[in-house]
Amino acid sequence: MSLASTTERVVVAGLLLAAMALAGCRGDSGVDPSLSPDAQAGLEVTRALGCISCHGERGEGVEGLGPPMVGLIGREATLTDGRIVVINVDYLRTALLDPEANLRVDWEIPMPAYDPSPDDMRALLAYLAEAG
């Protein structure tokens, strides 16, 4: 896997900031009645952390920036070290805390690591498990 150049990282950071600014301009309430309260809280955490900048408003993914983050549980992923893993809650937890631990071959843009509170982590995982 090639490391992104400084210029590429600056461009990605600029795109992230612009997308985060635009995300704050939404006119809807953002409530999804199909989600449990925990998963709804997780959706709000994705907005607060800026995840939607790369992964989309509803976790559907943004072409060229970030893969879908919903509908992944149970799917297989090929990692850059050649392993094929089944995505589960533990995989997603690791992806949040240490994104470079299990890099997928189909996405090379580095994701920032997060250190959410235990409540935010529980909510995020509930959202990722329920949505999509």
Measure Cα distances from 91 to 19, 27, 31, 94, 121 in Å. Answer: 26, 33, 27, 5, 13
The residue range of the domain holding 120 is 6-130
Single-letter amino acid code for the residue at 88: N
d(CA 79, CA 124): 23
CATH of the domain at 99: 1.10.760.10
1: in domain: no
pLDDT of 23: 45
List, in sequence order, every residue forming a beta bridge with 77; answer none if it has no partner.
85
42: in domain: yes
How is residue 6 written in tokens?
A: 């400084």
37: in domain: yes
pLDDT of 62: 87
75: in domain: yes
d(CA 50, CA 1): 25
pLDDT of 87: 92
> Each residue's pLDDT tens digit in the chain (132 positions)?
445 555 555 455 555 544 444 444 444 456 677 889 999 999 999 999 998 888 888 788 888 788 888 888 999 999 999 999 999 999 999 988 998 888 888 877 778 888 899 999 999 999 999 987
109: in domain: yes
Within 8 A by CB and 6+ apart from 33, the residues are: none
pTM over the 0.85 mark: no
d(CA 102, CA 93): 11
Helix 37-49 vs helix 118-130: crossing angle, to nearest 10: 110
Domain count of the chain?
Answer: 1
79: in domain: yes
127: closest CA among 92, 95, 84, 103?
92
